[in-house]
Amino acid sequence: MLKVGNFINLNLSLVAIMNADDSDYNNIFNLIKKHLLLILFVFMLLMSLDIVVTLTLPKTYSTSATLILGERDNADREAAIINSYIESSIGLKYNAVFDVYSNKNAKTLVITTESKSPAIAKSAANELMDYYLQYANKTRLKVANDTMKDLQAEINNRKNELVVLYGKSRAYQGKGNLTKEEEKTYAAIQNDISSKEKILSALPYKQAEALKLAYENIRSISYMPAQMPQSFSKPNILFNLIFGIFVSLFIALLAAEIKESIKDNLTSKSHFENTLGTRVLAQIPTSKLSEYFSDNFTEPIKSLNTYLRKIFLGNKIIYVTAPMPSSGTTTVALNMAIEMAKHGKKVLLVDGNLGKPALNKVFSKDGALGYIDFLTNHSQISITGTTQDNLFVMLSGTHVKSYRELLTDLKIKETFKELKKKNFDYILIDGINLSHSEARNFASNADGVLLVTDSQVKKKELFEAKTILSKLKANLIGIVLNKYDN
């Protein structure tokens, strides 16, 4: 079964193609090359489906009518009027989709209709336009008539007021000599008459201007009617095909990656040998007794050492590494060294994991001088004896943060040259996984490389390890399967 985590990784790896380096592009190329037939099959199947669906989808036709409003019109308000009519009437009449777009700056309303029939699309758009024009003109005419009525009512009121004032004025004129108080009242009446006559004389002009403006508003709406659509707007064949190409390619690559991932679990010795093209030299079962020592290790390690003694006659450097972290390189290197020493071979075990050294803990020699001191101080190589006859160790030494800068290809060549002068039968280096640059420098200079894997390793990780070692032209001796209970 494909794990959920793996499925997520597949998607992330495909999305990250744009940011891939050369090795990632090589992996993608290899994936395509390996599963080309599957990718082509899935791609063609999905594209065929995309084409069939696109060509069989019902065609939709679209057209638009445009209304150009007057300066005093509010585009959003007018659009709301049209939408209200769509919901209450015309939308129920036509089997069409309506859309009203208002442009405040340009003072325009664009009425767009979509239908499976081009004739219906045109008729619906123009009918909606005609409705609005009739509604707008009727509304504006009513406003003009109401304005005229209001102005006429005001004229009548002013005339009535003047009739009353004229009567009062004549009454004072008939008295003859007026008192000062009566003269004052009479003067006020005359002023009031003069003021109201001016207002009354202006009202007809105001009435005519209002009428003129009202009728101009009625005529201010211009329009461009909808035309018969000549071609369908949906489906968008070009867009569907381009989109289908990308989606089909993505799914085809995803199918290939899923197939590769399903096959990625290695379940037998032959799987490992076929993947790396080399022998499995030992199978070490899982031990629950100790991190580094167990009776379960004895027979596999003996078999491994017997093979090594056949192909290496002595004074050889063997680098023990892995394709991924926590594979058990220390366990394998340590037990190999002990077993060789028991058989009378003079063995040096070197801690090559200077970032997280393990041999200091195994041999209880924290703080002892070692490899880093040799690299930094150009001092003599510090080699320490152990309780096991013929077994010697070179620990990591004083830790420094910049230890990786010390493990250059040249420095490792110099180290190996010095170590070989000590005339050991075998020099075993407990290394780190091949993703680190220093591991690659060790592997390229060693006489042989022993690759330690556990049951959790994936085929992809083994391929990457094999690719690294091939580029380095390293001598891969074989594989040790650690924590392997099959």
53-78: average pLDDT: 83
Torsions phi, psi for 389 (to 5 deg): -55, 140
Contact 368/360 with Cβ under 8 angstroms? yes
Percent of the chain at pLDDT > 70 equals 86
Check: CB of residue 450 under 8 Å from CB of residue 338. no
Per-residue tokens: 4: 């959920």
Q: What is the mean pLDDT of the chain?
A: 81
Give the mean model confidence (pLDDT) for residues 338-357. 89
Same domain, 101 and 170: yes
Q: How confident is the model at residue 8 (pLDDT cuts 50, 70, 90)?
A: very low
d(CA 293, CA 295) in angstroms, rounded, equals 7
State mean pLDDT over 249-276. Answer: 74
Burial pattern 253-269, b for ≥16 Cβ within 10 A else e, equals bbbbbbbbbeebebeee
Q: Where are the alpha helices (DSSP H) in 109-179?
A: 118-173
123 and 150, same domain (yes or no): yes
**Alpha carbon distance 331, 387 (integer Å):** 18
Task: Give the full edge-to-edge strand order of the sheet including 222-224.
Answer: 97-103, 108-115, 61-68, 222-224
Contact between 456 and 485 (Cβ < 8 Å): no
Contact 460, 260 (CB under 8 A): yes
Q: How far apart are CA 317 and CA 333, in angstroms?
A: 12
Residues 98, 183 within the same domain: yes
The reply to whether 219 and 347 lie within a common domain is no
Contact between 298 and 409 under an 8 Å Cβ cutoff? The reply is no
pLDDT score, position 20: 46
**pLDDT computed for residue 73 by the predictor:** 72
Contact 411, 381 (CB under 8 A): no
pLDDT at 350: 92
Residue 183 φ then ψ, to 5°: -60, -40
pLDDT value of position 426: 92
pLDDT digits (tens, 9 = 90+) for 275-323: 677 788 888 877 544 456 555 567 888 888 888 888 877 778 999 999 8
Instruction: Tell me the average pLDDT across 384-389.
Output: 88
Using the 8-state DSSP alphabet, how is residue 60 labeled?
B
Residue 41 lies in a domain: yes
Most distant pair of Cα atoms in the chain: their distance: 160
Task: Give the model's confidence band at 251: pLDDT under 50 very low, under 70 low, under 90 confident, else very high.
Answer: very high
Same domain, 383 and 477: yes
Instruction: Select the more confidently predicted residue: 42 or 10.
Output: 42
pLDDT digits (tens, 9 = 90+) for 142-187: 877 887 788 888 888 888 888 888 888 888 887 778 888 888 888 8
- Residue 361 belongs to a domain: yes
CA-based angle 449:455:460, to the nearest 5? 70
Most confident of 86-100, 232-246, 360-374: 232-246
According to the model, what pLDDT value does residue 263 have? 61
* Residue 82: CB atoms within 10 Å: 21
Which among 204, 224, 244 is the end of a domain? 224
Q: How many domains does the chain have?
A: 3
Closest residue by Cα to residue 113 from 131, 104, 101, 105: 101
pLDDT surpasses 50 at 5 = no
Cis peptide, bond prior to residue 118, ω within 30 of zero: no
- 294 & 379 share domain: yes
Are 170 and 209 in a shared domain?
Answer: yes
pTM of the model: 0.50
pLDDT of residue 18: 44
The reported pLDDT for the residue numbered 214 is 66
Other CB atoms within a 10 A radius of the CB of residue 155 amount to 16
Domain-embedded: residue 396: yes
Return the number of other C-beta atoms located less than 10 Å from residue 29's C-beta. 10
Task: Tell me the two tokens of residue 235.
Answer: 């489906």
Whether the pLDDT of residue 133 is over 60: the answer is yes
Band (pLDDT 50/70/90 cuts) for residue 1 is: very low
Residue 386 pLDDT exceeds 80: yes
Query: What is the domain extent for residue 159?
Result: 61-224
Q: Cα separation of 386 and 395, whole Å?
A: 12
Distances from the Cα of 1 to the Cα of 39, 212, 262, angstroms: 21, 83, 7
Domain shared by 252 and 284, yes or no? no
Residues 137 and 204 in one domain: yes
Name the domain boundary from 262, 279, 309.
262
Give the number of other CB atoms < 10 A from CB of residue 77: 9
Q: Which of 147-156, 183-192, 429-438 has the lowest mean pLDDT?
A: 147-156
Asked if residue 312 belongs to a domain, the reply is yes
414 close to 442: Cβ distance less than 8 angstroms = no
* Domain assignment of residue 220, yes or no: yes
Name the residue with tokens 């010795």. 269
Same domain flag for 425 and 443: yes
Q: Is the same domain home to 304 and 250?
A: no
Give the model's pLDDT for residue 4. 37
Provide the phi-psi class of 326: left if phi over 0, else alpha when psi is between -120 and 50, else beta: left
User: Of 341, 252, 336, 330, which is closest to residue 302 (Cα–Cα)?
Assistant: 336
Q: Judge whether 444 lies within some domain.
A: yes
Quick check: helix, strand or coil at residue 64?
strand
What is the model's pLDDT at position 317? 93
User: How does pLDDT run across 199-245, given as a tens digit for each residue?
Assistant: 888 888 887 777 777 666 665 567 788 889 888 888 888 999 999 99
Tally of CA atoms within 13 A in the half-sphere of 232 that contains its CB = 14
Q: How far is Cα 364 from Cα 448, in angstroms, rounded to an integer?
A: 29
pLDDT of residue 384 exceeding 70, the answer is yes
Q: To which residue do tokens 């499925």 refer?
A: 7
| Same-domain status, 301 and 402 | yes
Please report the pLDDT score of residue 219 as a whole number. 56
Distance CA 446, CA 241 (A): 55
pLDDT at 148: 79
CATH of the domain at 215: 3.30.70.1130
What pLDDT does residue 46 have? 92
Phi first, then psi: give them for residue 310, nearest 5 degrees: -75, -35
pLDDT score, position 88: 73
Q: Note whether residue 230 is domain-resident.
A: no
